[in-house]
Every structure is written in C-alpha cells, then in structure tokens.
Amino acid sequence: MLTIYGCKGCGSAVIEAVCALLGEEFKLTEVAPWEPGPAVEALRALNPLLQVPTVVLDDGTVMTESVAILLWLLERHPDTDLAPRPGDPRRAAFLRRLVYFPSAIYPMYTVGDFPERWVKGKAAQAELKEATVQRTLGCWSAIEASFGAGPFFLGEQMTVLDVYAAMISRWRPGRDRIREVAPRAIAAAERAEAHPSVAPVMARNFGDAA
C-alpha cells in the first residue's frame, strides 16, 4: 500500500483523487509542513524540502513531485482512460498541460503564500502577492486560449488534467475570478470534481468553498 504524506487543501489532493479513480489503495499521513512537530520531522527525513505530496512506495522508495507521482500511477494502470497512451495524437497536449500546472501556476503559491520569505516590508509583500494573482490569471487565460472542443481538457474523455485543474483552481484567487478568464477550463474542472470518486476527496480537502 502507498503512503501519501499530504496536507488538507494542498497539492496532495490530486494524488489522492487519482488514486481513488484508479482504485489504488493508500494510507494518508497528514502533515502541515509549516507546523513544527514530529510529523514534520518524519516528512523531512523523506523529503528535506518538506514538500507535499511525498509518496512512499511499497518497497520504501520515496517519490516527490506531483507530475512524477501521477505518471508513475498511470504506468501502473496502463489500461486507464485517465491519460492518452503513447502514440495517441492527444499525448503531446496531455504532457504539455500536465507539466504546465506545476511549472507555471504552482510556483505562484510558493511565492504568494509566503511573500515575507522573498521581500521585506508589508507594502512590498502585498504587491508581490497581487502580482502572483495576476500571473496566475494570465496562465489560466493561456490555457483557455488553447482549449479545444469538448467538455474536458482533451475532448470527450476526462483525464488527469481535469482532476489537476479541479484542485489547483480551488486556490487563490478562486474559481470565480479564474472563471472570468477561463470559463471552459473551469467548467471541465467542475465536471471532474463531480465524479463520484473525486467528489469525496475534494470535499474532504476543500469543503464546499470553490
């Protein structure tokens, strides 16, 4: 059984949701990386950067980085429809977007959640935080510009992309703001979140607030 080190409302939610979709059993170990204590020290021993998700495989191997974990899970379930297979013409778009979320959008929270780590002074911190919001909206606008036909990111079939979008659109500035620049992308995220396997995970992580 996998062990997922995660935090309620954090990036581990997409790993939990995809495990649920794949029928992959896991044990969830809750840890807030910013709260000192035994749980944080246990996480630090596995991942010195104190990042969640961190996953420990059955054989003790430690995996970090959400895209790496997701691709590993998909490889364990080669018949899943949650990703186009190699050779599928949609594969390039899938990989591009899968990497885009953590490389383009996710860093805005690394900076914006803790602006005091990067600049001094309340005014500068507020300015930096707002700049991350504008950058986030710009990233979503770029997604929307390349959004194709169909109810999901890659057309008619829900994939990991839609589940990732369901999670990351819950974060600042929230879906109402993001919907203004990316209505089709948010609609896809909400369809994914409504899936019977995904809905309980998102409810546990985020409650009813979108």
Per-residue pLDDT, 133:
97
Cis peptide bond N-terminal to 107, omega within 30: no
Rounded to whole angstroms, the Cα distance separating 11 from 16 reads 9
| Domain 2-76 grouped into CATH 3.40.50.450 | no
What is residue 34's predicted lDDT score, i.e. its pLDDT? 86
Give this prediction's pTM. Answer: 0.95
pLDDT score recorded for residue 209: 56
| pLDDT for residue 140 | 98
Element of type H or E holding 161:
helix 160-168
Question: In this structure, are residues 26 and 10 in contact, taking their beta carbons and an 8 Å threshold?
Answer: no
pLDDT the model gives residue 64: 97
Exposure string for 108-147, b = 16+ CB within 10 A, e = fewer: bbebbeebeeeeeeeeebeebbeebeebbbebbeebbeeb
Residue of 29, 40, 51, 178 lying closest to 110 (CA atoms): 51
From first to last of its 210 residues, what are the pLDDT tens digits of the chain?
Answer: 999 999 999 999 999 999 999 999 999 999 998 889 999 999 999 999 999 999 999 999 999 999 999 999 999 999 999 999 999 999 999 999 999 999 999 999 999 999 999 999 999 999 999 999 999 999 999 999 999 889 999 999 999 999 999 999 999 999 999 999 999 999 999 999 999 999 999 999 999 655
What are the boundaries of each domain within the chain? Answer: 2-76, 91-194
Q: For the domain bounded by 91-194, which CATH number is listed?
A: 1.20.1050.10
Residues 6+ apart with CB under 8 A from 190: 166, 175, 210
